């Protein structure tokens, strides 16, 4: 029997109404084709439990943190060979999604600990929309430590106010990987690598990132690299300080590729206000300006240690000179 147009429309609207609750239910957990997630309250114990479950594959790998929450950690949840950590060690795949969310070491905590250690070969931590602060007072990695082949990926995040002897904010250790996208690393301190220490056999990539206001008592106020590669794209390395060499960056005999990046207003006590280069490096479409040092205000290219190639780049307005020794950086005028 043929249905009238009005009756068919009623049946169609009725079917749509029945479907709506099903869509809402799928949205809470794992919508078809989406990664399962768990949302946790503003509670450190809940965060630790969710990370442990993700490590053990007994819970979702993606953890949605409480928005505008400060997860204030008073005592460490784990310890490794290189110090204690606010969170359980990351041994599996874990993603932390925040929205104006902070994870911090309590300013009154009596123990020294970083925020997170990511243990290879299977440890992989992705952090998005999170400020990590206050960690450290350790030998290695004040905030994050990917080690033994671990991977750390930061997106739209901030790392600040941390300290360690090596890698005030982050140490990339023993063949590990660091990626930092659209983030800020600021106001951290170390002897070497005020913000980042890119260690042997490790790789670091920075894109659309600011490294600013960090300091080192020795080398690499912003970044120290001795790794397999350091790649910096569309970023700013600014207002960092090293009391010895490499106010912005210290390259210890490693490959380094910098493009579309500004290195400005950094200082070094001795050489290389912007960059102290002891490796093979290329600067493409980049600017090194207003940096200062005792010598090599812009760039110090160590004799007999690699080369620094300039491709459509500008080294200008550095104090007391742009590049030293004279002639060590082709196309750089004093």
Report pLDDT digits (tens) over 67-79. 999 999 999 999 9
Dihedral angle of Cα 165, 169, 174, 179, to the nearest 10 degrees = -160
Could you tell me which residues come within 8 angstroms of residue 32 by beta carbon, excluding any fewer than 6 positions away? 26
Residue at token pair 């490294």: 211
Q: What is the pLDDT of residues 182-214, one digit of tens each?
A: 999 999 999 999 999 999 999 999 999 999 999
Give me the mean pLDDT over the 31-57 stretch.
Answer: 90
| pLDDT confidence of residue 179 | 98
Looking at the DSSP bridge assignments, the partners of residue 184 are 158, 210
Residues 312, 284 contacting (CB under 8 angstroms)? yes
| pLDDT confidence of residue 33 | 52
Give me the mean pLDDT over the 41-50 stretch.
Answer: 98
Q: Give 95-131 as a DSSP string.
A: EEEEEEEEEEE-TT-SS-BBSEEEETTT-EEEEEEEE
Residues 236, 258 contacting (CB under 8 angstroms)? no
Query: Would you give the DSSP letter of residue 319?
Result: B
Q: What is the pLDDT of residues 202-257, one digit of tens each?
A: 999 999 999 999 999 999 999 999 999 999 999 999 999 999 999 999 999 999 99
Q: What is the pLDDT of residues 65-115, one digit of tens each?
A: 999 999 999 999 999 999 999 999 999 999 999 999 999 999 999 999 999
CA distance 180 to 88: 22
Residue at token pair 């950590």: 85
Nearest alpha-carbon partner for 127 in 79, 194, 182: 182
Write down the H helix ranges in the chain. 5-28, 44-56
Token couple for 328: 């060590």
pLDDT band, residue 303 (cuts 50/70/90): confident
pLDDT band, residue 21 (cuts 50/70/90): very low
User: Domain residue spans in the chain?
Assistant: 36-324
| pLDDT confidence of residue 20 | 31
Parallel, antiparallel, or unpaired: how do β-strands 83-85 and 78-80 relate? antiparallel
**H helix or E strand, kind and range, residue 52:** helix 44-56
Residue 32 has pLDDT above 60, yes or no: no
Entry pTM: 0.90
How many alpha carbons fall within 13 Å on the CB side of residue 176? 30
Which CATH homologous superfamily contains domain 36-324?
A: Single-stranded right-handed beta-helix, Pectin lyase-like (2.160.20.10)
| pLDDT confidence of residue 227 | 94
Q: What is the pLDDT of residues 129-183, one digit of tens each?
A: 999 999 999 999 999 999 999 999 999 999 999 999 999 999 999 999 999 999 9
Residue 36 has pLDDT above 80, yes or no: yes
What's the start-to-end Cα distance of the chain, in Å? 93
If DSSP codes are grouped into helix, strand and coil, which group holds residue 46? helix
If DSSP codes are grouped into helix, strand and coil, which group holds residue 47? helix
Tally helices (H) and strands (E) across the chain: 2, 36
Percent helix, strand and coil across the chain, each to the nearest 5: 10, 45, 45
Residues 187, 163 contacting (CB under 8 angstroms)? no
Could you tell me which residues come within 8 angstroms of residue 259 by beta carbon, excluding any fewer than 6 positions away? 232, 233, 234, 283, 284, 285, 286
| pLDDT confidence of residue 34 | 76
pLDDT band, residue 35 (cuts 50/70/90): confident
């Amino acid at each position: 029997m043929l249905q009238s147009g009005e009756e068919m429309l009623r049946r169609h609207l009725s079917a749509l109404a029945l479907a709506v609750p099903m869509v809402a239910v799928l949205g809470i957990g794992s919508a078809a084709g989406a990664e399962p997630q768990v949302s946790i309250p503003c509670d450190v114990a809940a965060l630790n439990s969710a990370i442990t479950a993700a490590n053990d594959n007994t819970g979702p790998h993606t953890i949605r943190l409480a928005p505008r929450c400060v997860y204030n950690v008073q005592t460490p949840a784990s310890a490794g060979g290189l110090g204690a950590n606010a969170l359980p060690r990351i041994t599996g795949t874990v993603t932390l999604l925040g929205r104006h969310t902070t994870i911090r070491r309590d300013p009154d905590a009596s123990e020294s600990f970083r925020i997170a250690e990511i243990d290879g070969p299977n440890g992989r931590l992705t952090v998005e929309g999170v400020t990590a602060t206050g960690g450290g007072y350790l030998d290695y990695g004040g905030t994050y430590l990917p080690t033994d082949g671990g991977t750390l990926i930061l997106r739209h995040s901030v790392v600040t106010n941390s300290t360690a002897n090596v890698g005030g904010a982050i140490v990339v250790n023993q063949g590990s990987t660091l990626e930092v996208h659209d983030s800020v690393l600021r106001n951290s301190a170390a002897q070497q690598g005020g913000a980042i220490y890119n260690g042997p056999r490790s790789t670091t990539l920075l894109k659309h990132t600011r490294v600013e206001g960090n300091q080192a008592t020795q080398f690499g106020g912003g970044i120290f690299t001795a790794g397999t590669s350091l790649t910096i794209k569309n970023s700013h390395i600014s207002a960092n300080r090293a009391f010895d060499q490499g106010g912005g960056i210290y390259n210890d005999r490693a490959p380094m590729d910098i493009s579309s990046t500004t290195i400005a207003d950094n200082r070094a006590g001795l050489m290389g206000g912007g960059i102290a280069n002891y490796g093979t490096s290329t600067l493409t479409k980049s600017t090194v300006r207003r940096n200062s040092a005792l010598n090599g205000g812009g760039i110090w290219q160590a004799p007999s240690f690699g080369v620094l190639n300039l491709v459509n780049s500008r080294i200008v307005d550095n104090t007391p000179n742009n590049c030293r020794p004279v002639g060590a950086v082709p196309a750089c005028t004093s």
